[in-house]
Amino acid sequence: YKTTFSVEELPIGTLFLDLGKVSLMAKVKINGQSAGGLWTPPYRVDVTPFVKSGKNTFEIEVVNNWTNRLIGDARLPAQQRKLRPHTSGGNANRHLEESGLLGPVVLLK
């Protein structure tokens, strides 16, 4: 996920980027710099050193869960599958688990 936003004047104090709900893990970059990785609630990271006056870019990379990968692969024709799991986790009839950046994403002071 990637977005830009502008800050006219930097507020005094600490700024946090709160990702809300994330399933499963996330890595956050602000203006091309790593602000950290998150794998447990609260999915919140201090972005104070990275946010600047003017235009800013947030990049959030989210890791899907392995179960969804197995299910997705099992739904492909056999010749297109990339995985050969030793378990039955890749049942094509299972529902995919909630995954991704579910938010809401907010900048907190």
Burial class of residue 50 in the structure, from the number of CB atoms within 10 Å of its CB (0-12 exposed, 13-18 middle, 19+ buried) = buried
Above 90 in pLDDT, residue 98?
A: no
Exposure on the CB side of residue 46, measured as CA atoms within 13 A: 4
Two tokens, residue 72: 């997705």
89 pLDDT more than 60: no
pTM: 0.79
Per-residue pLDDT averaged across 102-107, rounded?
Answer: 94
For residue range 1-48, what is the model confidence (pLDDT) as tens digits?
Answer: 999 999 999 989 999 999 999 998 999 999 999 999 999 999 999 999
Model pLDDT, residue 92: 74
Contact 89, 67 (CB under 8 A): yes
